[in-house]
Structure 1
Amino acid sequence: MTARLTARDRWLLHALFDHDVFTTAQIALATGTGTRSTQRTLRRLYDLGVLDSFRPYLEVGSAPEHYTLGPAGAVVLAAERAVDLKALGWRADRSARIAHSPWLGHDVARNDLMVRLAADHHTDAARRLTLWACERVCATLWGDHVHPDAYAHYRHHPPGDPGRGGGRAVAFFLEYDTGTTALARVDAKLAGYAGLAASTHPPTPTLVLIHTSTPRREAALRNRLQPTATTLGVPVATTHHALTDGGSPSDAVWLPLAGTAARTALLELPTHYRHPGPAPTAPGTWTPDPDDESNPGALRWPPAPPLPPTRTAVPGRGRG
């Protein structure tokens, strides 16, 4: 079976292990392929047992197919990582647990936002989401301070720029707010971000993006958070679903909490704050090197790349 898996198939297994669930449309967007081609690929992987799938119940209409890591896919990942399924953290009831999770809608919507950000690269090769760390990785690295829904690096390199000195980049934590959490609870999270920034020398705050449900909810959040963010020195920007639905989250949809009245593009947000930077990690954290005793901060299994490898022609097998 493993001989029938392409490099892009394997990428999907790793991505589903990280992010739990994607819809057909999200996978098509991430891979840059048409819906029918994506459906054929997913059906093949489902028939192999590499993927599992379900459709959530809706009182009106029908939900899209949702895909999760299947039992054969978990075996492949465990073999690649030289561990058993228990050590991998995969359970036989994983798909059922995801399907019936009260957080399913939240997780699918968060993944949709991040996938659309990653897909910018398909229309503009100078733009790339270079890192997307899932909630589980964030808890491992920064759980003593914060529990964001994601952490990411996004950059733009002009044509011909080798990636040194030119271009722009932004690192951010994402809080995906569906409007059901008490404002006081959201406000209390800022103390954790301030504490994380203070753990470095000199203190380096990391941008916190809050995506919420409606304009009214965004206004309420901003009124509640602004005094706290100003006092603690936490750089925060907000947006809401109507502004990001169907477009790229990198567009001018973010409103800094720093008093400006203008919506700002993602890559412009750092200019509104004093020296924001990436979240603190040990050197080599994002590099897979679990046996390097000199680098205890390295993750055993770093996040999957936000996009699959480029398609390449393989002799005798078509495109992989």
Structure 2
Amino acid sequence: MSSLPRGSGYPRNSAKGSVLMPSGTTDRLRASGGPSEHLLLLLNDHRVMTTDQLARATATPARTVLYRLEQLRTAGLVDYDRPGRQRGSAPHHWWLRPAGARLVTGTSPADGRRPSALFSAHAATITEVWLALREHGPAVGLTLTGWATDRAGWQEWEGSASRWGGASVKRLTPDAVLEAVLDDGQEVAAFIEVDLASMTQTQLRGKLDRYRAYARDEAWRGRFPYCPPLLLLTTTGHRAVTFTRNAARHLGDKSLPGYGRRPVGDFDLIAAHGRLVVAAAGCVRDPARAVTEHAWTLTDPEAAEVTLTAICTERATTAAAAWPAYQRQEAEADRLRRDDTLRRIRVRPRPLLPLLGPAAVDLVSYLLDTHHDPTDPFTPHLDTDATLDALAEWWRRSPRSSGDTPALAATLTRLHQQAWSHQVRQLAHLATSTGEDRPAWYAAAAHLAGRRLLTPAEHHQLGDAPTRDAAQAQVWRYWQPPGHRDEATAPTYPQWRDQQVTAEWTHLSWWQRQRTDRATLAAAFDVEHLTACARCALTIPATDTGDCPGCHHSKRLPHDQCHTVTPLTDLIAALLADTTNDA
């Protein structure tokens, strides 16, 4: 029961100018409410109701309702009028006095003045529509769950910004807002407009323009399951058809693009969901027929008249069909935001370093590499999508909570160790299965020894890397001895070395030749003209100052120190000692 303010009395009828002391009826209403308070609440909700309507709404005999209303009128809480005539059988149209409104709401929204005949007829007609829905709706699969009239049903929203800047507050003022459920449990809603032939088609078009703005701005989102249809109840079928034809011209109402020509896509489903549907029926004097029969004319001139339930069902079906499209659209928008965030991280990963640490940043750079090959044995099996989703969400969040960054850094570091261990074990398997020590594998081992992951481009070619002999042949293929420019006649290094050693040998005296080994001269010649890669021990001419063609290392050793290079097996053994067995 509504809270009831205490007072010393209520004015009776301002037209008579008398004042009544608190009556027993008012005291009882303050104390316990009951049937009389129910009548006050109904009048507060519907503004104007006839005696018959109040009787039907409360399932009470009309004589009993009239008796209670007369008591409330005597207490100065309600009053009535008989629009158009004061005698005869015209029905009583009841409304709240300020005291009655104050009694049920705590405020006094009613001004107490006698409503005009047009207002009373209009409000009573809206109430009759509500009663018809209550009484006949369940039989046709439409169970009323909500009904808001006057200000309770008005819709306000911020429209699109004007060219001068800022957003304008817009308002839609339907006569009533219908909310109901279908037999299958789907929620439906509709805007009800009642026309008693008091508005011209130009005025109706202006009302339609406000509904178009409401649909265009999507102001229904978050309030209704779809854009509620505009349902006009008017006096004749001719007025209904004229209104819907005019509406069709202003709405540009056509079948959605693609229907019958191409498969319906998400854009079509979403457009149908937000489309303003307009229908009209010329039976405002008989609302029960508008609820139960094929009485509604649509904007499509070729469509037959349909039922109110069919209109609501079509809207609910459209909303249900559009829901997956919205989910896909939202998922696509999330994916684009995620990809944009990850793209910026891939271009500039350095800001992550002080927050997440070098291991985490190395993993992120590896995961964001665009050259991944899932079939490559060196590619670790990680939950990449979930990891990158968490990273993108963390990076977009501002401010970040104190627990987010350490937790993410720990997760990425653990995954880095898992990926690093996988690549080490794969390199060990590659070396042991072939029994070789290809120069490119030295580079991979040195890379992993720095606790860095091999990039997809680096590990993709390891299985097909040149053997040591092939890499050495590559070195000699492009070598030319000094003084030789014709590749066709240029000697190989061994040939050139033998020529030079032989020339030196012939210049020695007999006594020197007896004490000098030709192999010693050849070894000294190699030390002078050859170097060794400090990483893979590949032999490289001293005149070649570029990186090692086998492992791309830049440092060199004297040729006679190539035995000091750590063997590949020892390098891999040291790496395996630091691996983990994380799956």
TM-score by length of 1: 0.68
Taking the aligned partners of 2:150 and 2:276, their CA distance within structure 1 comes to 20
1:275 aligns with 2:291: no
Task: Tell me if the contact between 2:155 and 2:172 (Cα under 8 Å) persists in the aligned partners.
Answer: no
1:201, 1:116 → 2: CA distance? 29
Letter in structure 2 aligned against 1:219: V
Larger Rg: 2
- Counterpart in the other structure of 2:306: 264
Is 1:115 the counterpart of 2:122? The answer is no
Counterpart amino acid of 1:135? D
Equivalent residue number for residue 280 of structure 2: 238
Decide whether aligned partners of structure 1 residues 30 and 216 sit closer, same or farther in structure 2, where only a CA change above 3 A counts: same
- Residues 267 and 42 of structure 1: CA distance in aligned 2, closer, same or farther (over 3 Å): same
The answer to whether the 8 A contact 2:241-2:280 is kept is no
C-alpha distance in structure 2 between counterparts of 1:105 and 1:246, whole Å: 14
Of 54, 57, 70 in structure 1, the residue corresponding to residue 84 of structure 2 is: 57
TM superposition shift of 1:193: 1.8
Match of 1:183 in 2: 201
Matched, 1:89 2:121: no
How do 1:208-219 residues align onto structure 2 when only pairs under 5 Å count? Answer: 208-219=230-241
The 3 A distance-change label for structure 1 pair 199 and 220 is: closer
Counterpart of 2:62 in structure 1 is: 35
Contact kept? 2:134, 2:143, Cα under 8 Å: yes
State the 1:12 CA deviation: 2.8
Task: State the match for 2:45 in structure 1.
Answer: 18
Structure 1 outlier segments of 4+, above 6 Å: none
Could you tell me how far apart the structure 2 residues matched to 1:246 and 1:269 are? Answer: 16
Alpha-carbon offset, residue 21 of structure 1: 0.8
CA deviation profile, 1:101-158 (whole Å, cap 9, x unmatched): 543322222222222222337x85975321111122233646814221111112244x
Q: Aligned residues: percent identity?
A: 25
In 2, Cα distance between equivalents of 1:226 and 1:9 = 47
**Higher relative contact order, chain-length normalized (CA < 8 Å, sep 6+):** 1
**Is 1:130 aligned with 2:145?**
yes
Q: Secondary structure at the match of 1:128?
A: strand
For 1:41 and 1:249, the matched residues in 2 are separated by: 32
Contact 1:132 1:151 (C-alpha < 8 Å) held by counterparts: yes
SS in 2 for 1:137: helix
Gaps of 5+ in 2: 1-25, 158-168, 255-274, 321-583
Q: In 2 relative to 1, CA 234–23 (structure 1 residues): closer, same or farther, beyond 3 Å?
A: same
Could you tell me how far apart the structure 1 residues matched to 2:220 and 2:143 are?
28
For the 8 Å contact 1:106–1:176, the answer to whether it is kept is yes
Task: Tell me how far apart the structure 2 counterparts of residues 254 and 125 of structure 1 sit (CA, whole Å).
Answer: 15
Give 3-state SS (helix, strand or coil) of 2:188's partner: strand
Cα distance 1:101–1:40, how it changes in 2: closer, same or farther (>3 A)? closer
Normalised by the length of structure 2, the TM-score is 0.39
Q: Does the Cα contact within 8 Å between 1:49 and 1:73 map onto a contact in 2?
A: yes
SS of 1:241's equivalent in the other structure is coil
1:135-185 per-residue CA deviation (whole Å, 9 max, x = no partner) reads: 22233646814221111112244xxxxxxxx33442010111122322123
Q: Is 2:216 aligned against 1:174?
A: no
Residue segments in structure 1 that go unaligned for 5+ positions in a row: 80-84, 158-165, 278-320
CA gap 1:216/1:74 in 2 versus in 1, 3 angstroms: same
Tell me the equivalent position of 2:172: 146
Q: Structure 1 residues 246 and 135 mapped into 2: Cα distance closer, same or farther (>3 Å)? A: closer
Q: Which amino acid aligns with 1:250?
A: V
Aligned partner of 1:75 in structure 2 is 102
Cα 1:263/1:34, change in 2 over 3 Å: farther
Distance (whole Å) between structure 1 residues aligned to residue 227 and residue 51 of structure 2: 36
What amino acid does structure 2 have at the position aligned with 1:186? L
Question: Aligned equivalents of 1:240 and 1:125: distance in 2?
Answer: 20
